[in-house]
Chain A
Amino acid sequence: MTAQFAAKRLGKELQKINNSLPPGIELVSADNFEEWLLDIRVLDNNPLYRGHTYRLKFKFASSYPIEPPEVVFVKLADRLIPIHPHIYSNGIICLDLLSSQGWSPVQNVESVCMSLQSMLTGNTKDERPPGDEEFVRANRLRPKDIDFFYHDNNV
């Protein structure tokens, strides 16, 4: 599909998002159809994330929603990268749903945010992925081009 279809679909997603979003998800900015920022927080009392808000950056290609958006956590003065065995300290997320293979065009910005919320909620491990330091230092690939090994989709 071309940029015109991506823009049309994103326009409609934005309309919906402006009307209502599930609890714990907030739109920060969506000035164009290339990059949106959203904040998420967990809704339960998971001590790893309670009281924190996390910033997500969505980048859309002209092939969206046939291809997934690129989604990463962003670090700011008041926004940390959540600790999680599938989230690298540079904000890159290892989640099947966001890979070319695991993505489905019926997913959308809202459903991705909700998946990430539940990925955090369900986690009890206070750790980064194995090899985090090395990965953060050496990786030059875009998130979607990284060949993650989805060894454990339950985490």
Chain B
Amino acid sequence: MSRSALALKEEGNRHFQVKDYAGAEALYSKAIVADPKNPKLYTNRAMARLNMSLWENVIADCQECLKLAPETMKAHYYISQAALNLHDFGFALEHAFTAHKLCVSAGDKDKSMAHVTAQVLKCKKEQWDDRERRRKRETTELESEVLSLMERERNEAVGDMMDVNDGSRHEIEADWQHKIDALRDVFEKARSGNEKRRKVPDWAVDDISFGFMVDPVVTKTGKSYERGSLMEHLRRHPTDPLTREPLYMSELRPNINLKDACKEFLDENGWAADW
């Protein structure tokens, strides 16, 4: 890094630390002009812009960084956060997963695992919420559309009966009312079916963070934990949480079946992400 770019970056960092994000952003921009080939400068500016809610700019900076250094975990993590704010859920999730994968391969060197895991869950949750909102709106629209069609039919049928005696007209009217009520009932049942008892199965919950598992790893005892939580524990005490016997990160194995089961459950029960 050229000397002036380094000095500008460090000054930017100082502004960032006192939460002067606009000041930091301007300094990082100058640093980038001085040294446009340094990927770190782009993620620094992206971080400042994340705090300024400049989502599109965050993504542009991170993509610039990834061109120079494709394995930058932070760039994927920031893109995921910005994309989530732009409601681009699929994109946000994809980059959260990439960040997570990079965390895993960095092993103990990267301390962001817990945050990145939380980001994966957040993406899943917001994606689910969005789908639910849309589905509810569509159902409500469909319901009122079908109801008004039926009401129109009824009015026509009753209109045709104007000159017939009151008795059979009331019969036709009651008949239609019954159908309309039955239809409302069907929609109502569908709605409450979705709100039915929501329980997260214990097998999907990490005993350390109490969060829903995204990337379970199994220890010698056969018990699985969320990778990020267990790493956090092992960093301070290299012992098995259950037996307190020595346990090292290198001894952990991914629990692929459990991971798939968790994913499948979450795909169908997105609300569980934020249980």
Residue numbers of A with Cβ under 8 A of B are: 1, 5, 8-9, 12-13, 65-67, 100-102, 104-106
Contact = CB atoms under 8 A, between A and B. Distances in A.
With a 10 A CB-CB cut-off, give which of B114, B233, B239, B275 has the most chain A CB atoms: B233
Interface of B: 114, 118, 207-211, 229, 232-233, 236-237, 239, 241-242, 244, 275
Secondary structure call for the A interface: loop
Given A1-B114, A5-B114, A66-B236, A105 B229 contact: yes
Nearest to A107: B241
A90 to B, nearest CB: 28
Contact of A105 (B114, B241, B275): B241
8 contacts: A1-B229, A8-B209, A9-B209, A12-B275, A100-B237, A104-B233, A105-B208, A105-B233
B241 A8 contact: no
Contacts of B118: 5
Q: Which 5 A-B pairs have the closest CB atoms?
A: A12-B210, A105-B208, A104-B241, A106-B207, A106-B241
The dominant DSSP class at the B interface is: loop
Contacts of B232: 1, 66
A100 B239 CA distance: 12
Contacts of B275: 12
A65 B232 CA distance: 10
Nearest to A12: B210
A104 B242 contact: yes
Given A66-B232, A66-B233, A66-B236, A104 B210 contact: no
A8 B114 contact: no
B228 to A, nearest CB: 9
Given A104-B242, A106-B241, A13 B236 contact: no
Contacts of B114: 1, 5
Contacts of B229: 1, 105
A60 B210 CA distance: 16
A106 B211 CA distance: 13
Given A104-B242, A104-B244, A106-B241, A9 B210 contact: yes
A153 to B, nearest CB: 12
B211 A8 contact: yes
Contacts of B209: 5, 8-9
B223 to A, nearest CB: 9
Given A100-B237, A105-B233, A106-B207, 18 more contacts: A1-B229, A1-B232, A5-B114, A5-B118, A5-B209, A8-B209, A8-B211, A9-B210, A12-B275, A65-B208, A66-B208, A66-B233, A104-B239, A104-B242, A105-B207, A105-B229, A106-B241, A106-B242
A5 B244 CA distance: 23
Nearest to A67: B236
Contacts of A12: 210, 275
A106 B210 contact: no
A9 to B, nearest CB: 5
A8 B210 contact: yes
Nearest to A96: B244
Contacts of A9: 208-211
